[in-house]
A and B are shown apart, each in its own frame.
Chain A
Amino acid sequence: MSSEFGVRRKERTPAKKRERIRRGIVLSVLFSIFLLTAQSFHWNLFFDSEPRTPNSELVFFTMAYAVEVPPLKGYVNDYANLMSPAIRTKLTHELKEFERTDSTQIVILTIPSLEGLTIEDYSIQVAEAWKIGQKGRDNGIIFMVANQERKIRIEVGRGLEGRLTDLTAGRIIDLVVKPRFKRGDFNGGFVAGVAALIDATKGEFKTDDANQPKTKKSFPPFFTILLFGGIGLLILGSISRALGGVVGGIGFPVAGYFALGASMLTLILLGILGLLMGIFLPILFSGIGYGRGGIFSPGGGYFGSGGGDSSDFDSGGGFDGGGGDFGGGGASGDW
Chain B
Amino acid sequence: MKKLLICIAGIFVIISLSGCGYNTMQMNEEAVKAAWGDVEAAYQRRNDLIPNLVEVVKAYAKHEKETLQAVTEARGKVGSIQAGANVVNDPKAFSQFQDAQASMSSALSRLLVVVERYPDLKANQNFRDLQVQLEGTENRINVARTRYNKAVQEFNTSIRIFPNSITNSLLLHLKPKEAFKAEAGAEKAPQVKF
Report A's interface with B, CB cutoff 8 A: 18, 21-22, 25, 28-29, 31-33, 35-36, 38-40, 42, 45-47, 60-62, 120, 124, 165-167, 169-171, 236, 239-240, 242-243, 246-247, 250-251, 254, 258, 326-333
Are B7 and A39 in touch, CB under 8 angstroms? no
Give the distance in Å from the alpha carbon of A326 to the alpha carbon of B163 in the complex. Answer: 34
Give the distance in Å from the alpha carbon of A246 to the alpha carbon of B15 in the complex. Answer: 14
The 10 A-B pairs of least Cβ separation, nearest first, read A166-B136, A328-B143, A170-B132, A32-B12, A32-B16, A36-B19, A328-B140, A39-B19, A35-B16, A46-B24
Chain B residues closer than 8 Å to A47, beta-carbon distance:
24
Kindly supply a per-residue 1/0 record for chain B positions 22-46, scoring 1 wherever the CB is within 8 Å of any chain A CB and 0 otherwise: 0010011000000000100010000
Are A60 and B153 in touch, CB under 8 angstroms? yes
Are A61 and B5 in touch, CB under 8 angstroms? no
Known contacts A25-B5, A167-B132, A124 near B143 by CB under 8 Å: yes
Q: Which residue of A lies closest to B9 (CB)?
A: A25
- B11 CB to closest chain A CB (Å) equals 6
Report B's interface with A, CB cutoff 8 A: 2-9, 11-13, 15-16, 18-21, 24, 27-28, 38, 42, 129, 132-133, 135-137, 139-144, 146, 149-150, 153-154, 157-158, 161-163, 189, 194
Chain A residues closer than 8 Å to B132, beta-carbon distance:
166-167, 170-171, 331
Are B24 and A332 in touch, CB under 8 angstroms? no
Give the distance in Å from the alpha carbon of A207 to the alpha carbon of B146 in the complex. Answer: 33
Give the distance in Å from the alpha carbon of A258 to the alpha carbon of B19 in the complex. Answer: 11
- A252 CB to closest chain B CB (Å) equals 12
Chain B residues closer than 8 Å to A333, beta-carbon distance:
194
> Do most interface residues of chain B lie in helix, strand or loop, or is the interface mixed?
helix
Give the distance in Å from the alpha carbon of A175 to the alpha carbon of B4 in the complex. Answer: 76
> Do most interface residues of chain A lie in helix, strand or loop, or is the interface mixed?
helix
Which of A39, A124, A243, A332 is within 8 Å of B135, CB to CB? A332
Are B163 and A35 in touch, CB under 8 angstroms? yes
Are B163 and A243 in touch, CB under 8 angstroms? no
Give the distance in Å from the alpha carbon of A294 to the alpha carbon of B136 in the complex. Answer: 68
Q: Which residue of A lies closest to B27 (CB)?
A: A46
Are B18 and A61 in touch, CB under 8 angstroms? no
**19 A-B pairs with C-beta separation under 8 A:** A25-B9, A28-B13, A36-B16, A36-B19, A38-B19, A38-B163, A62-B146, A124-B139, A166-B135, A169-B136, A170-B132, A170-B135, A242-B4, A243-B4, A250-B11, A328-B42, A328-B140, A328-B141, A331-B132
Are A331 and B24 in touch, CB under 8 angstroms? no
Which of B2, B15, B27, B140 is within 8 Å of A21, CB to CB? B2
Which of A29, A33, A61 is within 8 Å of B146, CB to CB? A61
Are B12 and A327 in touch, CB under 8 angstroms? no
Q: Which of B13, B28, B132, B161 has the most CB of A within 10 A?
A: B132
Give the distance in Å from the alpha carbon of A60 to the alpha carbon of B146 in the complex. Answer: 11
Which of A25, A36, A165, A240 is within 8 Å of B15, CB to CB? A36
- B100 CB to closest chain A CB (Å) equals 21
Q: Which residue of A lies closest to B41 (CB)?
A: A327
Q: Which residue of B lies closest to A28 (CB)?
A: B9
Give the distance in Å from the alpha carbon of A46 to the alpha carbon of B24 in the complex. Answer: 7
Chain B residues closer than 8 Å to A331, beta-carbon distance:
132, 135-136
Give the distance in Å from the alpha carbon of A329 to the alpha carbon of B45 in the complex. Answer: 12
Which of B11, B136, B142, B146 is within 8 Å of A330, CB to CB? B136
Chain A residues closer than 8 Å to B143, beta-carbon distance:
124, 326-328
Chain A residues closer than 8 Å to B129, beta-carbon distance:
167, 170
Q: Which residue of B lies closest to A61 (CB)?
A: B150
Are A32 and B19 in touch, CB under 8 angstroms? yes
Known contacts A247-B11, A329-B140, A42 near B4 by CB under 8 Å: no
Are B12 and A29 in touch, CB under 8 angstroms? yes
Chain B residues closer than 8 Å to A29, beta-carbon distance:
8-9, 12
Given A61-B150, A171-B132, A328-B141, 10 more A-B residue pairs with CB atoms under 8 Å apart are A35-B16, A39-B19, A46-B158, A120-B139, A170-B132, A170-B136, A243-B4, A247-B7, A332-B139, A333-B194
Q: Which of B13, B19, B140, B143 has the most CB of A within 10 A?
A: B19
Q: Which residue of B lies closest to A171 (CB)?
A: B132
- A310 CB to closest chain B CB (Å) equals 21
Q: Which residue of B lies closest to A232 (CB)?
A: B11
Are A254 and B20 in touch, CB under 8 angstroms? no
Chain A residues closer than 8 Å to B24, beta-carbon distance:
46-47
Are A38 and B140 in touch, CB under 8 angstroms? no
Chain A residues closer than 8 Å to B189, beta-carbon distance:
120
